[in-house]
C-alpha cells in the first residue's frame, strides 16, 4: 500500500459565479495514480461524514487508492442554500469537484439521490467531452428520477397547494428531527434531468445494491433502472431485509466487495 494513501487534503472550490457562486468543501485521499479514484456521491440531505462515505474512504486507504468526498451546496460544511438545490446544480458541483481533482479515471459510488447524480455525471462527461472517464458505478438504493417517479405521483392536495403558494412543501423525516423540504424548483428541474426515458449507456460495469424493505425507494425502482441499462455489465444485489440506508456492517461489507470488484 502506498504511504500517500494516508494523506488527506481538505480543500474548497468555488462553483458558479456572482450570485450563483457557492463554496464546495472536499476531502481527498491521495493514492495510486495508475488506478481509478473512488468518488462519493451522497444522497438528499446527507453529507460526506456519513457511515458509507467514511467506509468508502477507509477502503481506499487500505487499497492505496485515491478517494474524493464532498458536500453538495446546502449540505454538510459546504456553502450555498439548501432550498436553491436542484439536480442540475448538484450535478454541476460533482463535475466541478472531479474535474478539479485532476483524476482521469474514477469509480462513482452513489447513494440514493447520488445514484441519479452519478448517471447525470456520466451523461454530461460524454456530452461535453470532459477530461475524465467513469470506469465503474456502485449504486446504493439508487433514486434516479425520484422527483417525477416517487414524489409527484403521490403528492397530496395540501402539498400541491403548498408548492403553488409557498414554492415548497415539507414532510417528516425518518432520519432527522428537521423535516424534508422539497421545492418547486427541485421538482421542475428534476423533469429536465430524467434518465429513465431512454437507454442509458454508462460504458462501464455497474453494481446496484438495493434493500427490499426500503421505505423510500422500492426495489421495483432498481428493477426499472436495470431495464434502461441493457448495454452494460450490470449486477443487482437485492437484500431481503435491507432498508434505505444500507449502513449495517453486513451492508458495508457488500458495498466494499462491490467497489473492489470494479477496481
Q: pLDDT tens, 41-58?
A: 999 999 999 999 999 999
**Burial of 230 (C-beta count, 10 Å sphere; 0-12/13-18/19+):** exposed
Task: Quote the CA–CA distance of 193 and 198 in Å, as a whole number.
Answer: 12
pLDDT tens string 9-36 = 999 999 999 999 999 999 999 999 999 9
CA nearest neighbour of 46 among 81, 71, 78, 20: 71
Which of helix, strand or coil describes residue 68? strand
For 176-191, letters b (16+ CB in 10 Å) and e give eeeeebbbebbbebbe
Asked whether the predicted pLDDT for residue 173 surpasses 70, the reply is yes
Confidence of residue 68 (pLDDT cuts 50, 70, 90): very high
Q: Is 174 in a helix, a strand, or coil?
A: coil
Q: Report the CATH number that the domain containing residue 127 is assigned in CATH.
A: 3.40.50.1820
Question: How far apart are alpha carbons 262 and 117 in whole angstroms?
Answer: 19
Classify residue 158: in a domain, yes or no: no
According to DSSP H, which parts of the chain are helical?
51-63, 87-101, 113-127, 146, 157-166, 184-192, 219-227, 249-262
Give the pLDDT score at 177: 79
159 within a domain of the structure (yes/no): no
- Residue 166 included in any domain: no
Kindly tell me if the per-residue pLDDT of 4 is higher than 60.
no
From 77, 51, 61, 63, select the one nearest 29 (Cα to Cα). 61
Tell me if 244 is assigned to some domain. yes
Number of domains in the chain: 1
Which structural domain, as residue segments, surrounds residue 104? 3-144+199-262
Q: Is residue 153 part of a domain?
A: no
Q: Which is more confident, 248 or 179?
A: 248
**pLDDT of 135 strictly over 50:** yes
Would 79 be classed as within a structural domain? yes
Tell me whether residue 110 is in a domain: yes
Output the pLDDT for position 103: 97
Q: Is the pLDDT of residue 175 over 90?
A: no
Beta strands in 173-215 (DSSP E): 180-183, 206-211
pTM for this model (two decimals): 0.95
In a domain, 128, yes or no: yes
Amino acid at each position: 500500500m502506498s504511504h500517500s494513501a494516508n494523506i488527506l487534503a481538505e480543500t474548497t472550490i468555488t462553483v458558479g459565479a456572482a450570485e450563483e457562486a457557492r463554496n464546495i468543501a472536499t476531502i481527498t485521499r491521495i493514492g495510486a495514480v495508475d488506478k481509478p479514484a473512488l468518488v462519493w456521491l451522497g444522497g438528499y440531505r446527507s453529507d460526506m461524514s456519513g457511515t458509507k462515505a467514511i467506509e468508502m474512504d477507509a477502503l481506499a486507504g487500505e487499497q492505496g487508492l485515491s478517494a474524493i468526498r464532498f458536500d453538495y451546496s446546502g449540505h454538510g460544511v459546504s456553502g450555498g442554500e439548501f432550498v436553491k438545490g436542484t439536480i442540475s446544480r448538484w450535478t454541476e458541483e460533482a463535475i466541478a469537484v472531479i474535474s478539479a481533482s485532476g483524476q482521469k479515471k474514477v469509480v462513482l459510488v452513489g447513494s440514493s439521490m447520488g445514484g441519479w447524480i452519478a448517471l447525470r455525471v456520466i451523461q454530461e462527461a460524454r456530452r461535453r467531452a470532459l477530461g475524465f472517464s467513469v470506469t465503474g458505478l456502485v449504486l446504493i438504493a439508487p433514486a434516479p428520477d425520484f422527483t417525477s417517479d416517487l414524489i409527484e405521483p403521490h403528492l397530496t392536495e395540501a402539498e400541491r397547494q403548498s408548492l403553488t403558494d409557498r414554492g415548497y412543501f415539507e414532510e417528516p423525516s425518518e432520519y432527522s428531527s428537521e423535516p424534508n423540504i422539497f421545492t418547486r424548483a427541485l421538482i421542475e428541474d428534476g423533469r429536465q434531468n430524467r434518465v429513465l426515458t431512454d437507454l442509458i449507456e454508462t460504458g462501464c460495469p455497474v453494481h446496484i445494491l438495493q434493500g427490499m424493505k426500503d421505505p423510500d425507494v422500492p426495489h421495483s425502482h432498481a428493477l426499472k433502472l436495470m431495464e434502461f441499462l441493457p448495454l452494460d455489465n450490470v449486477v443487482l444485489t437485492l437484500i431481503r431485509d435491507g432498508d434505505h440506508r444500507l449502513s449495517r456492517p453486513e451492508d458495508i461489507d457488500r458495498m466494499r466487495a462491490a467497489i473492489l470488484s470494479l477496481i
